[in-house]
Amino acid sequence: MSELFGARLAAKVAAAGPLVAGIDPHPGLLADWGLPVDVDGLERFALTCVEAFAAEVALVKPQAAFFEAFGSRGVAVLERTIAEARAAGALVIVDAKRGDIGSTMAAYATAFLADDSPLAGDAVTLSPYLGFGSLDPALELSAKTGRGVFVLALTSNKEGPSVQRARTPEGVSIAQSMVDSAAERNRGALPLGHVGVVIGATVGETGLDLSRLNGPVLAPGLGAQGGTVADLRRLFGGISGQVLPSSSRDVLRHGPDVAALRAAAVATRESVRELGESADTAGDSVS
C-alpha cells in the first residue's frame, strides 16, 4: 500500500461520504432477487452489487460467511468481489470477524491482511474476545501492509451485553477496554489510526468514551435493523466525523436492478454525508 489506511479512508470519505454498503448474499436475498441459491447466483448477486455500489460509496463490506457457505467456489467469488470492488475505486472491508490465538491468529492475519493474499481487502473485522492482545499478529501485519482492522466492541445482538457490558475489577466495561486498547494503538496517528472499532447503530446508550479513539467507528444497523441518522448523531456526538454507518438489507432489497440499487445507495449516502460535516459542532465524548 502506498498510503496508510487512515489516510486513504479519510480521503475517500471526504470525496464520497462515509457510507459502507454491505454485500450480504443471504440465501433469502438471492431468492428475492430471483437468483438460484448456488455459486452462480452468489456470483451474479455480488458482482451486481459491485457494479451498483463501488463507484458511488466510500466503502463496501462483503460478509465473508455467505461466500464461505458455498465452499471453495464461494471463496473464489469473494476473492473476485474484493478485487473488482477495489479496482472500481471502493475501499473494501472484509467482514470476517476472525479471532484466535498464536499461530492460528497469524494465519488469519496472513489470509486477510497480507499483500499477496487474494482475500485481502483494505480492512478486516476482528473479534477480540480471546483478549485484545490475541489480535497482535493481525494488528502488527496491518500496520506493515497499510491496511485497517475493525475490532468488535459493542454489538447489537441480544447476547452481546452479557460479555461486552460486563465490568473489569477496575470498573471499566469490557467494551470500553477494547476501545481503550484500540486508542493506544492509534496514538499519534494522522489523520486517523488504522485500528477501528465496531459499535452497533442500534445498541442504545453506549456508555463509552470514544474521545481518544483516534480511529474509525464501523456502525452497522442503519436502515432495516432500525438505526437512523439521528441515532448515529446521538450515539457518536463529536466524533461523528469518524463514524462509518453501514447499511445492507435496506439497500439490497432494491435489487436486482442495478439502477435501483445504485439509486438506493446514493440516497442513503446523502442521508449520512452530513455526519462528518456536523462533527465540529458536537461534544467530544459519547454516552
Residues 168-227: pLDDT tens digits? 999 999 999 999 999 999 999 999 999 999 999 988 888 999 999 999 999 998 876 678
Q: In the block, which residue shows the cell 467507528?
A: 217
Answer whether residue 284 shows pLDDT above 50.
Answer: no
For residue 31, count other CB atoms closer than 10 A to its CB: 12
| Strand, coil or helix: 200 | coil
| Strand, coil or helix: 98 | strand
Give the separation between CA 70 and CA 57, rounded to whole angstroms.
27
Give the separation between CA 13 and CA 242, rounded to whole angstroms.
9
Of 61, 97, 144, 158, which is the active-site residue? 97
Q: Are the C-beta atoms of residues 214 and 239 closer than 8 Å to each other?
A: no
Least confident piece of the model among 18-27, 110-119, 121-130, 234-243: 234-243
Backbone angles phi, psi at 15, to 5 degrees: -85, -40
For residue 11, count other CB atoms closer than 10 A to its CB: 14
**C-alpha dist (Å) from residue 81 to 2, 23, 61, 72, 190:** 22, 9, 10, 14, 30
Looking at residue 222, its pLDDT comes to 87
Answer whether residue 231 shows pLDDT above 80.
Answer: yes
Give per-residue pLDDT as tens, 120-135.
999 999 999 999 999 9
Percent pLDDT > 70 in the chain is 94
Q: What's the mean pLDDT in 98-126?
A: 98
Give per-residue pLDDT as tens, 44-76.
999 999 999 999 999 999 999 999 999 999 999
Domains defined along the chain, listed by start? 5-281 (3.20.20.70)
Answer whether residue 15 shows pLDDT above 50.
Answer: yes
Q: Are the C-beta atoms of residues 126 and 138 closer than 8 Å to each other?
A: yes
Looking at residue 198, its pLDDT comes to 98
Q: Which residues contact 195 (CB under 8 A, 6 or more apart)?
A: 139, 142, 148, 149, 151, 182, 185, 186, 215
Q: Which residues contact 147 (CB under 8 A, 6 or more apart)?
A: 1, 5, 113, 120, 121, 122, 123, 124, 141, 194
Q: By CB neighbour count within 10 A (0-12 exposed, 13-18 middle, 19+ buried), where does 91 fall?
A: buried
Percent pLDDT > 90 in the chain is 84
Place 107 in a pLDDT band, splitting at 50, 70 and 90.
very high
Give the separation between CA 231 and CA 227, rounded to whole angstroms.
6
Looking at residue 279, its pLDDT comes to 43
End-to-end distance of the chain based on CA atoms, in angstroms?
36
Looking at residue 224, its pLDDT comes to 65
Model confidence, pTM: 0.94
| Catalytic annotation present for 158 | no
Q: Are the C-beta atoms of residues 241 and 58 closer than 8 Å to each other?
A: no
